[in-house]
Chain A
Amino acid sequence: MKRFQLNGRPVSADVEDDMPLLWVLRDELGLMGTKFGCGVAACGACTVHLDGQAVRSCVMPMVAVDGHAVHTIERDDDPVLARLRNAWITHQVPQCGYCQSGMLMAASALLRQIPNPTDADIDGAMTNICRCGTYQRVRAAIHAAAGARRPREAA
């Protein structure tokens, strides 16, 4: 039995050591916001946070998740993610939307690490693939969300 914190709540799953976190989230726990894109950590559609770090859940074996904290796109208690969501809506970022959960999780990890990222920081952190070509708006929305930071939060 694997036990971990999921979006702040304890959960458990009776799964193999090598089952990737992605499939536990989707098929065991029914959280469908995290997407399957390639299964080889190449596209980033499955990006979630493991102990606050952006990871690709499609290659994250459950043995490495046991006892740790996972956050997904469904979390509703994160002011950084909330700001990013607002910026995403203001900038009308998503098209098909399939890659956007991963994009938002990668962006929120970036803003936690670098509250005011440069374009080069964004290029380095946002390696997610979007076939609809939303990159320009993703970049604009990240800058907007960073700029919308309240001074108290930034401290």
Chain B
Amino acid sequence: MNLKRRHLLIAGVAAAAGGLVVGCGAPTARDRLGKAALPQGPQDPVALNGWVRIAPDGRITVAVPRAEMGQGVLTSLPMLLAEELDARWDDVHVEHAPVAGIYANQALLLNVLPFGTDDDGLVARLARSSIQRVGYALHLQVTGGSSSVRDAWEPLRLAGATARAMLVQAAAKRWAVEPGACRVEAGQVLHPGNGSRLGFGELAREAAALSPPSEVPFKDPARYQLIGRAVPRKDIPSKVDGSAVFGIDVKLPDLLHAAVAQAPVFGADIASFDAAEALAMRGVHKVLRIPGAVVVVADRWWRARQALATVKIQYTATPHDRLSSKDIATGLQQALDEHSGMAFTQRGDAQGALEKAAKVIEARYWAPYLAHAAMEPINCTARVKAGQVEVWAPTQVPSLAKWRASQVAGVDMDQVALHLPLLGGGFGRRLEVDMVEQAVAVAQQLDGRPVKLLWSREEDTQHDMYRPAALSVFRAALDAQGRVTAWHNRVAAQSVSRGAMERLLPWAASDAPDKNQIEGAFDIPYDFEHIEVRQVRTQAHVPVGSWRSVGHSYNAFFTESFIDELAHAARQDPCAYRRGLLGARPRHKAVLEVAAAKAGWGTPLPPGRARGIALHESFGSICAQVAEVSWHEGAVRVHRVVCAIDCGVVVNPDTVEAQMQSGIVFGLSAALFGEITVAEGRVEQSSFHDQEVLKMAQMPVIETHIMRNTHAPGGVGEPATPPIAPAVCNALFALTGQRVRSLPIRLQAAA
């Protein structure tokens, strides 16, 4: 990619983000520190900055501005602060931060940049710096893009180190000694001479009155007590006795419950409805209409849902009423036939090399729409009373949820209070705010009473913002020796970024380049002389959104399968073949080698089993997986997955391991079963019986190997998802000779 193209992409992102990049200074971690504040009562905690409060009894509260949806962020983020503070870990408590500027996620938008982890050139660095400004300017308080630790790494450590320095100063002042001579140990400052100690709680009030030092050194990583250790998660005890409060568990006095029936064809609305029967049923409070849906409000959700089933609803006609998955697939094919698309990567002359090639290998790959199917069905609770809006939303985007609630209710942002409970899974679905819009729209019609709006599993399955279906066409040019000289790839899919923009800021939706659509395809790590990767954008009426690992979820399947095809065409070992193409990529090579070695790559397996390998970089981390599979009576069985991950500096290795298991199971469910199809304009699947996911009996043994290094932290929530489908499919090729080019996996029965 040339410089001009990169600048264009960055400009496109900035424009899409609302053009707010102009004129804002680059915020540093120091800009995000926030202010010290004294409390009202003598026993109340003292805020030493925007991230940490200390009570007189030594209790430390850390503000976490990211949503806990299973990734362990309520533990990993406080670990960063507590490490630099030298706090006693048992004293550390966590609470979700309110919506405020210092908590905006700067790292999130790093994911839109077209640079790999190892690109540290001037352009990449400039781009990273400007894009972080956009995230800050937009106040995107977002949990997604595997960005929480990446974003928090500097500000939370700085908040801890600065608070520590203030506490030391306060102690030194009291003792009339040099601050530099004092030591800090487990929540106490130690006198340099006489062995006396002062707890953080005793010092916090005096410390808050001091001005924070402008320069504080970070700890030498060799002295880390928490970072790099398997610290037990703070949220787990509440998740084993039923006391954890998710969005669906919010309790309020006078609470009403709402069940929703949305128009089954995307884009349709309610033409009319007859609720006479429903209104006569026990507990029913009201039947009302919001955009695209009929809602029954009752004293109990079950009663609302029973009543909803009796409502006779007529929907408006749309141009999509007869549309099927086949039509959508044909549309993708036509887009590829008719448009060359936009080049995201262009090095050398791939077209020319293909024309001169001794041999050309071609392949076409397909990936279907996928639903998120988080365990906690979509829900949101809201109250609109006297111009004040209160929202309880299990959301990945508190700042957007608050903004959207204010828009729907027609009030200022300051009139909206947002509460963030735990999330029963996110996976990208809770980056959307449709449930917030609905809950507020319903609450507006209930005379100040709060309402908990909850979707059925069927609504959740049929009204998702889906992982886009995608079609990918490869051509590789081989010379007379069978060596690949050119890699040519075009990917057709709907744009997730455009979809999100159309829903939030329709005026800003554009056909600007969308890195999300092509990520994992334009930035493959392999070194070919000529390479061209093009994005073909398509439109369909099925709404699309971010699904764990976004574009990487399909592009890794495509690219890592096709590279495997090339290895076999060259009659080379797929692992050695990849290694041979990773000349300038030492981190990728190391990860691949660890996965292969730990999996016993090349060693014999019992009959009927085979291994496959895949390597993929996403969200700042590099992940390689080796899958060991068998195939009996038409069923694919994955026995073992060996996973190696390079996510830079490791904050909590136990969490990293858990996220590897999590990402693999998520990707494996999709590879084996995941498929959302459309008939008559609507989604055909409805629940877990017709949209199967992996269960205990199908669970492979997963072994995780974490690379230890001092690179900047990468993400861990998503990077394990992309490689699993190709690793399994590559193993199936080794086992059966059948190349899986379409997901979910469907093998031909043995002849």
Residues on A lying within 8 angstroms of B by beta carbon are 16, 19-20, 23, 27-28, 30-40, 42-43, 45, 72-74, 76, 84-85, 88-89, 92-101, 104, 122-124, 126-139
Contacts and interface: CB of A to CB of B under 8 A. Distances in A.
B456 A39 contact: yes
Contact of A33 (B241, B300, B661): B241
A53 B302 CA distance: 24
Contact of A135 (B248, B426, B665): B665
Contacts of A19: 300, 302-303
A100 B246 CA distance: 12
A28 B300 contact: yes
B375 A95 contact: no
A94 B242 CA distance: 12
Nearest to B71: A95
A123 B67 CA distance: 32
A132 to B, nearest CB: 5
A38 B425 CA distance: 14
Nearest to B69: A96
Given A27-B300, A96-B69, A97-B424, A133 B666 contact: yes
Contacts of B422: 96-97
A123 B235 contact: no
A131 B302 contact: no
Contacts of A139: 696, 699
A101 to B, nearest CB: 5
Contacts, number: 174
B302 A20 contact: yes
Interface string B230-244: 101101111111111
A43 B456 contact: no
A38 B664 contact: no
A23 B302 contact: yes
Which 4 pairs between the two chains have the least Cβ-Cβ distance?
A: A33-B242, A133-B665, A98-B424, A95-B70
Given A96-B374, A124-B697, A132-B662, 7 more contacts: A37-B375, A104-B240, A130-B665, A131-B373, A131-B425, A131-B693, A133-B661
A130 B302 contact: no
Interface in B208-254: 230, 232-233, 235-246, 248-249, 251
Given A40-B689, A97-B424, A31 B242 contact: yes
15 contacts: A33-B242, A35-B375, A37-B377, A38-B457, A38-B688, A42-B688, A42-B689, A94-B240, A97-B246, A98-B424, A127-B697, A133-B662, A133-B666, A136-B701, A137-B658
B237 A89 contact: yes
Contacts of B232: 89, 92
Contacts of B375: 35, 37, 43, 45, 96, 98-99, 129-132
A101 B242 contact: yes
B593 interface: no
Q: SS class of chain A's interface: helix, strand, loop or mixed?
A: loop
B242 A96 contact: no
B698 to A, nearest CB: 9
Given A32-B245, A35-B376, A136 B702 contact: yes
A138 B237 CA distance: 15
Interface of B: 68-72, 230, 232-233, 235-246, 248-249, 251, 257, 282, 300-303, 373-377, 422-427, 454, 456-457, 654, 658, 661-666, 669, 687-689, 693-697, 699, 701-702
Nearest to B299: A27
Contacts of B376: 35, 37, 96, 98
B658 A135 contact: no
Contact of A89 (B240, B251, B425, B695): B240
A43 B248 CA distance: 17
Nearest to A37: B375
B282 A94 contact: no
A135 B697 CA distance: 9
Given A94-B236, A97-B70, A129 B242 contact: no
B423 A96 contact: yes
Contacts of B240: 84-85, 88-89, 93-94, 100, 104
Nearest to A124: B697
B243 A33 contact: yes
A98 B69 CA distance: 9
Nearest to B700: A136
Contacts of A101: 242
Contacts of A97: 70, 235-236, 238-239, 244, 246, 422, 424
A39 B248 CA distance: 14
Nearest to B666: A133
Contacts of B425: 96, 98, 131-132
